[in-house]
Amino acid sequence: MATDDGAPLAVTLDESRYDRQERVSWWDQERLTAATVLVVGAGALGNEVVKNLALIGVGTICVLDIDTIEASNLARCVFFRHGDEGRAKAPTLAERARELNPDVTIEGIVADVRTFGTGLFLRADVVVGALDNREARLYCNRLAARAGRSWVDGAIEALSGVARVFTPPKSCYECTLSETDWEVLAHRQSCRLLSRDQMEGGKVPTTATTSSIVAGIEAQEGVKLLHGLGPGVQPLTGAIVFDGANNDAYPLTYAPREDCLAHNRFDPISVVDLPPGELEALTAAGLARMAWPEAGSADPLVVELADDQVIAWRCTTCETTAPEHRPAALIAWGEAACATCGEPRLPEFVTSIDLPGPHADRTLVELGIRTDEILSVRRGVEERFWWLAALDDRLPSTWHRATTPPAEAITQAASSAPTAANTPATATTSATATTSAATISVAAESVGGGRNG
Ligand SMILES: [Zn+2]
Ligand SMILES: [Zn+2]
C-alpha cells in the first residue's frame, strides 16, 4: 500500500482490512490512522460511534462517560454484556472495542466532560457528542467555540433522530435552542447549584436501530471532518433529521443568531509554558502580568474565569465561612448544607478577577480553574487568551500532542503576542516544559477552523 505520490505509508496497516473503504475515491486511511477523536458519552450512541470509528481505523479514540452500566443499557449497547451491570461504561466500552481492531488505541475515561478545561477540545482533531442532556451539549458547544473546533452531535427518540455538525462560528448548538429548551435549563438552574441527579438525561423511548442510524451518521460526519472539504465529500452543515416511523429524512440548516453569547473564539491562544509546580503557584495577578507585560502597575486588568467559580461558603446561622475552589456547575445542591446546623450555606461566586482587586493574589488553583483551561485576560476591551496547558492526568499520555495550526493563526499570534520571542511554537505541556517562569512560548495552537472552514 502506498500514498498518492507512491511513498510507502509511515504507519503499519493491515492492507486487506481497509481495502473496501480505501476504494472510496477521497479516502485517506493514513490521515484517519493519525487522527485523534474524542467521543463524549458511552451510552447507546457512544457504543455505536466508537464501534464505527474503531472498524474504520481511526488511530486514537478517547471516550468519556461518568456513568455505570444499567440493565436498560443492554438492549441498545453493542459492547455491553449481561453481567456488566454496575461496571463503568467508558472503560468497558473501550476494552471491548479494542477487540474489534488491534490497529486502534481506545481509551475509556470515567469522567464528566464538564470537569475538563478547553484544552480538551484542542487536543482532539474532532469531537463527537453522544450525549443525552442539554447541559453537557452546551458545555461541549462552548469549548468547541473557544477552541475553534467542529463537533458532531446526535440525539434520538423512538424511531426518530437527528445528527448535526456544529462548526463555530458558522453554526452553534446554542443558536438552535428554543424558548422551551431555555425554560427547561433555567428551571434546572434556578438554584444555580445543580444536583447531578436533576441533570440526568430523561428516560426517553429509544431503540438499538435508531441509535445505530444516528450514530452511523455521526461517525461518518466525523470521518468527513477529518478529511476536510474536498471533491466528492462535503461535511454536513446543519442537521440531518431522520424519521424512521414515517420513512422520511431531510437536511436542516440553522441560522446563527446575532445575539448568541456562545461565539467567542479564543484566538490567537498563547501557551503558559510552566513546569507543574510553577503552574500551580500561578496567581491571577501573575497571569495578568504575563499576558500584558507592557501594562503599567496601575493599569486595570481583568482575568475572565471562563465560568462561574465558587470560592467560599458562608453559613449565616453559624456565622462561619469555609473555602471552596470549584466551578459552580460541578457543585451539587446537597453540598450547600452546613455540616454543623444543616442549613443551606450561601456560595460566594466570582466570574472575573480585577487587578488590582481583593482576589488578585489567589492562585488559579485556589480559584478552582479547571486543568488545561484557557483564560481571557482583558485590558479595556482588548483580550488576550492564555492556555494553562497541562495534560489532565485522567487523559492518556498520548494526548501530549501538538497539532499544526492554520497559517492565519500563526500570523495573528506573531503580530499580537506579548513577548519578543514570536517564533510560532507547538504546544508543550507543563510536564515536558523546562522553561523558567519568565519564558513564555507563543502559541500557534489555535487549530481546527482552517481545515473545516
Ligand atoms: Zn450561537
Ligand atoms: Zn451552619
Q: State in Å: Cα 380 to ligand 1 middle.
A: 24
Ligand located closest to 344 CA: 2
Cβ–Cβ under 8 Å, residues 146 and 383: no
**Does 345 map to a domain?**
no
Cβ–Cβ under 8 Å, residues 318 and 339: no
Q: State in Å: Cα 425 to ligand 1 middle.
A: 31
210 and 300 assigned to the same domain: no
Cβ–Cβ under 8 Å, residues 162 and 154: yes
Q: State in Å: Cα 257 to ligand 1 middle.
A: 6
Element housing 413 (H / E): helix 407-416
Q: How far is CA 251 from CA 165, 257, 431, 433, in A?
A: 11, 19, 45, 47
**Does 259 map to a domain?**
no
Residue numbers in the chain where pLDDT is lower than 50: 1-3, 194-199, 402-453
41 and 125 assigned to the same domain: yes
Interval 333-345: pLDDT, tens: 889 999 999 999 9
Q: Which domain holds residue 41?
A: 19-252
210 and 303 assigned to the same domain: no
Cis peptide before 268 (omega within 30 of 0): yes
Q: State in Å: Cα 49 to ligand 2 middle.
A: 48
Q: State in Å: Cα 256 to ligand 1 middle.
A: 6
Q: State in Å: Cα 325 to ligand 2 middle.
A: 19
**Does 328 map to a domain?**
no
Q: State in Å: Cα 334 to ligand 2 middle.
A: 14
Ligand 1 (ion): which residues have CB within 5 A? Answer: 172, 174-175, 260, 262
Q: State in Å: Cα 362 to ligand 2 middle.
A: 26
**Does 299 map to a domain?**
yes
Q: State in Å: Cα 166 to ligand 1 middle.
A: 10
Q: State in Å: Cα 246 to ligand 2 middle.
A: 58
CA-wise closest residue to 370 among 105, 110, 111: 111
Spatial distance between the Cα atoms of 53 and 19, rounded to a whole number of angstroms: 16
Q: How many CB atoms lie within 10 A of CB 112?
A: 18
pLDDT score of 431: 26
Q: State in Å: Cα 150 to ligand 1 middle.
A: 13
221 and 297 assigned to the same domain: no
290 and 399 assigned to the same domain: yes
Residue with cell 475538563: 116
393 and 280 assigned to the same domain: yes
109 and 202 assigned to the same domain: yes
β-pair partners for 376: 304, 385
Q: How many domains does the chain have?
A: 2
Q: State in Å: Cα 48 to ligand 1 middle.
A: 28
Q: State in Å: Cα 368 to ligand 2 middle.
A: 23
242 and 291 assigned to the same domain: no
Spatial distance between the Cα atoms of 188 and 206, rounded to a whole number of angstroms: 24
Q: State in Å: Cα 394 to ligand 1 middle.
A: 30
23 and 55 assigned to the same domain: yes
Ligand located closest to 340 CA: 2
pLDDT score of 420: 30
Ligand located closest to 342 CA: 2
Cβ–Cβ under 8 Å, residues 329 and 114: yes
247 and 288 assigned to the same domain: no
pLDDT score of 11: 56
CATH number, domain of 101, equals 3.40.50.720
**Does 319 map to a domain?**
no
Ligand located closest to 172 CA: 1
CATH number, domain of 295, equals 3.10.290
210 and 62 assigned to the same domain: yes
91 and 239 assigned to the same domain: yes
Q: State in Å: Cα 258 to ligand 2 middle.
A: 45
Ligand located closest to 314 CA: 2
**Does 382 map to a domain?**
yes
DSSP assigned state of 398: G
**Does 347 map to a domain?**
no
**Does 431 map to a domain?**
yes
Ligand located closest to 138 CA: 1
β-pair partners for 38: 62, 127
Q: State in Å: Cα 86 to ligand 1 middle.
A: 37
pLDDT score of 298: 86
CA-wise closest residue to 447 among 412, 415, 396, 397: 412
